Structure 1
Amino acid sequence: MSLNTAHAQNNGVVIYAGERILIFYNAIEMTFEGPNIPHFKGKKKGRIYLTTHRMIFTSTEGKDALQSFSFPFLNLREVELEQPIFGANYIKGRIIAEQGGNWNGEANFKMHFNHGGAIEFGQCMLTAAKLASRNRPAQPPPYSPPTGPIYQAPPPAYEAPHTQYYDWVPYQTFPTAPPAEYVYTYDAPPPYPGVDPNAAVYPPPYAAGNATGNNAKEREAAASAYYNPSNPHNAYLPQQQNGFSQPPPSYDDATKKQN
């Protein structure tokens, strides 16, 4: 699990190349109990993304010390679905820090769904974690922070696959995809297995197009286009704005901004 490494500016989320968002939920409230650091104090309001490799929380509170929190399936323990007689359903569990993930030890978390969906989300997440565990390494790899530029992700990163393999995802409960301008990616593939080891990795935008290398304009266009082989007459053109071409701030930088 890594702290403050999966967000971009303006509430954006940063995912690995080839990682896909399965569920997006825009009204989550989280609490943490663990190491005595400011980032875990208080209630955290924001968005939750269930991907093919992990859960990602991003804060909608710009001044909160915790701006993003990554939950790789390999680091989750004792996840349970709670249905209290009074109050909203929620998910609770334990998360173990990744080596190099900007914190140490382990923490307990509770994830409240303000508009329903906790049971469906939790069941889907447990299925995803079970599928990902088939190729679980003996020792999870250390975390490596994003390096190099990030860019707006191509549509396969956030559009529902809607194939038979993903028929366990409750798209009827969570039909909303995250806004395209919130989803960013970079070159590195996920360092741990996902739910589908045979999934094709979508090409990064800069690899698309047919630039010859002799024309700077062609290279620039190729660097910002996503080519879909199944729809060869159209190209997806990602946008870069407000400094999104830079990696998310480091743990130290995020901390300094709160002081």
Structure 2
Amino acid sequence: MALNPPVMANNMPAPVIGEFMVLVRKDIEAEIALENGTKYKGKGRLYLTTIRLVFVNEKRSNISSFDIPIDLMSHEKFNQPIFGANYISGSVKPLYNLIPCNAKFKFWFMSGGTGTFLPMFYGIVDQIRRRRANGSNGPDPRFVESVASGNIQNVAYVDPNDPSVIFVLQPECPNPSQNNVNYYFPVPGATAPPLPMDSSYQDVDRPPHNPGQSAPQVYSPQSNAYAPPPPSGYDMPDSRVGSQYPQMANNYQPPNNYPPLGNYPPPGYSQPPNNYPPPGNYPPPIVNPSNYPPSNYPPRN
């Protein structure tokens, strides 16, 4: 599990490469309880993807989001109390030590049934665990292909009493995360791969600020260091930028034969004839409605 994973401007989770959205459920109340006694609560939306659960908080709180990698989850259970809303619960291990200890989670479904959500959720869990036992990561590739191609309704049961929304089209992600799905299937002892620089994870290692620079600092992945931003609207070399930013070439020359001179349309070209005869049976003859249906319809035994 990790607190505050990257979220896009539309409040949808930023997917990693190879991850696809399955469904989203609104009106969710969530609680995360760390073993060290820390608790996080929120109200918002719960996203089910091909590799994880992601809760995005829509209420002011000490967290904006958190995700639960299915590969690190255990003891999941669907609870139906006599009083109160149904909920799922379970335990989850830290993802690359992004939380200090194991945690327990609860998601309450505050608006309606779970007949669509539960089969999809448990189906993905079962696929991931079966493939992990065989030395592979992720759910069944055939299932992933169905989700990616928009054919998920062919493999999903849709309960009209469940307000979950299935993704028949994948949302556009202008800034996809640089990591792939293996990020959510860590091997024991592995260190976390670098995260996108727009990530909201709080423990991303960033180069130190250069106090000698008076200009605002932005991160340059090419040089792996901070550098002053280019001037607004720059398109010519500037002494403040130097070689840190690529410059736009302004010496484009069109080809010699463009635009064509006086030879268009080509010689011998003429307009197509406009005397196309319609077929002999067009328009079709008008059928007298009084003759329809035929007298021998319907057939009699």
TM superposition score category, shorter chain reference: 0.5 to 0.7
- Supply the distance in 2 between the matched residues of 1:168 and 1:176 (Cα, whole angstroms): 9
CA distance in 2, matches of 1:183, 1:94: 33
- Number of residue pairs matched? 183
Of residues 170, 173, 186, the one that matches 2:158 is 170
Assess if the C-alpha contact under 8 Å between 1:124 and 1:170 holds in 2: no
Q: Is this contact kept in 2: 1:34–1:107, CA < 8 A? A: yes
Match of 2:180 among 183, 189, 207: 189
Matched ranges for 1:63-212 at <5 A? 63-100=60-97, 102-118=98-114, 120-136=116-132, 160-162=150-152, 164=154, 167-168=155-156, 170=158, 173=162, 174-175=164-165, 177=167, 180=171, 185-191=176-182
Task: Indicate the residue corresponding to 1:236 in structure 2.
Answer: none
2:53 corresponds to which residue? 55
Distance 2:201 2:68 in 1: 18
Gapped regions of structure 2 (runs ≥ 5):
138-145, 186-195, 205-301
Instruction: Give the aligned residue type for 1:136.
Output: R
In the alignment, is the contact (CA less than 8 A) between 1:12 and 1:184 conserved in 2? no
CA contact (8 A) 1:33 1:107 kept: yes
**Normalized per residue, which structure has more strand?**
1
CA shift, 1:87, in A, is 1.3
Query: Judging changes above 3 Å, is the alpha-carbon distance between structure 1 residues 170 and 106 closer, same or farther for their aligned structure 2 residues?
Result: farther
For the structure 1 residues 108 and 140, does the alpha-carbon distance in structure 2 shift closer, same or farther, using more than 3 Å as the test? farther
* Higher normalized contact order (CA 8 Å, seq sep 6+, divided by chain length): 1
Structure 1 residues 88 and 170, CA gap change in structure 2 (3 angstroms):
same
Partner of 1:7, secondary structure, is coil
Task: For residue 49 of structure 1, report the CA deviation from its aligned partner.
Answer: 0.6
Hey, which bits of structure 1, 4+ residues long, moved more than 6 A? 137-141, 156-159
Letter in 1 for 2:151: P
CA RMSD of the aligned region, Å? Answer: 3.6
How far 1:138 moved relative to its partner?
9.4
Does the Cα contact within 8 Å between 1:91 and 1:118 map onto a contact in 2? no
Higher helix share goes to which structure? 1
SS in 1 for 2:107: strand
Structure index of larger Rg: 2
Q: What TM-score do the two structures reach when normalised by structure 1?
A: 0.59
Q: CA contact under 8 A between 2:116 and 2:159: conserved in structure 1?
A: no
Counterpart of 1:247?
Answer: 198
Q: Match of 1:6?
A: 6
Q: Under a length normalisation based on structure 2, what TM-score does the superposition of the two structures give?
A: 0.51
